[in-house]
Amino acid sequence: MVSDAVAWRRHLHRHPELSFREHETARFVRETLASFGGLEIQTPTATSVVARLRGARPGRALALRADLDALPIHEASGEEFASEREGVMHACGHDGHTAMLLAVARLLAARRRDLAGEVRFVFQHAEEQPPGGASELVAAGAVDGVDAVIGCHLLSTLELGRIAVRDGCCTAGADTFAVTIQGRGGHAAFPHETVDPVLASAVAITSLQQVVSRNSPPLDSVVVSVTRVFGGTADNVIPNEVELRGTVRTFNPDVRDRTIAAMRRIFDGVSAAHGASHEFQYTKGYDPVINDPALAAIIREVAGPERIIEMDPLMAGDDFCTYLQIAPGCFFFVGAGDSSAFPHHHPEFRIDERALSIGIETLTASALRFLA
């Protein structure tokens, strides 16, 4: 079983697909699921797959979720099964998540006559790109009638053999913003004749650090990161405008609202001080993932105290939160750290594939425990 999961994962790793484009990935998942027998296979969207396993007796319904999509990153991992698609890479472990859930589906399908209730295997597209694939699956009724949802995430920065879970807030709300600072361009040798949006943007970027250090209470967690800057066409030309883009991460709705207000004040003030103008767009993305304590207790029970660690909330975001509008859920992390420990979304990201067996075991045991 584990060798098959490794082979599935490597196949998916060689052939990554971006969000909303996972056509080959979804076809591979459908064909693999069909080979197990006993599953009702559905395609709620063009690039997602849901398989229903109905037990021999009535009971509760549990959804298990994995994500399918990759990232627009050029792979530099050096793995022999590295991506064959230029500029696209499974740099977050979704290939492993899909392989693990395929293995769980095969294991549980073989035990269908012993099961009470239903297990729904949700292979979701587009986790990496808000508004995310989960919202489309919820709208399509893919998780209607389920009593609980469980998902897991491989974590390269967590020691192999460990499983991290917590009650309550697990991951952060993940928003994005874009601001275009508009000035008056001109010759770089005569800056006094321009309104320099590059300078205004630089001041705005440094001023945004005050949102965390001076506008948020010390015990409230918030991240404001400018991640992209666009502007200029030549070394001797001051451009007309510069665009800044980035992300905001929070755990609390009030903190999110205060952060948005502080950002507006900063952009208003910086623009006014430099004689510029601006357009500010803020897009609320994924909400925080809030784990149900009873489901988290199941993860702790089946994993065992020797593996479990109580984690701090992560500033990462995940649209697993969307399923929690339908049913209680739990999102946990499986240690997949190797000697490199490159972080997620890094060109050299790798996982220790021995983590797959731990994830398979924990998901399978959690499903059996919940249905029991």
d(CA 207, CA 201) in angstroms, rounded, equals 10
CA distance from start to end of the chain? 24
- Helix 94-109 and helix 23-36: axis angle, to 10°? 20
Strands 277-286 and 40-42, how do they pair? Answer: unpaired
Are 67 and 98 contacting, i.e. CB atoms less than 8 angstroms apart?
yes
- Annotation marks residue 114 as catalytic: no
Beta-carbon contacts of residue 273 (< 8 Å; ≥ 6 apart): 200, 203
d(CA 46, CA 68) in angstroms, rounded, equals 13
Q: Could you say which of 17, 67, 69, 241 is catalytic?
A: 69
d(CA 71, CA 92) in angstroms, rounded, equals 8
Are 52 and 123 contacting, i.e. CB atoms less than 8 angstroms apart?
no
- Helix 355-371 and helix 94-109: axis angle, to 10°? 50
- Annotation marks residue 127 as catalytic: yes
d(CA 241, CA 229) in angstroms, rounded, equals 11
CA 364 to chain centre: 22
Identify which of 103, 122, 73, 105 has the alpha carbon closest to the alpha carbon of residue 319.
122
Beta-carbon contacts of residue 56 (< 8 Å; ≥ 6 apart): 112, 113, 114, 115, 116
Q: Which residue has the tokens 């398979």?
A: 360
Q: Could you say which of 17, 127, 287, 318 is catalytic?
A: 127
DSSP code for 322: G
Which tokens sit at 264?
């507006």
Beta bridge partners of 124: 67
Are 338 and 156 contacting, i.e. CB atoms less than 8 angstroms apart?
yes
Query: Hey, which residues are catalytic here?
Result: 69, 127
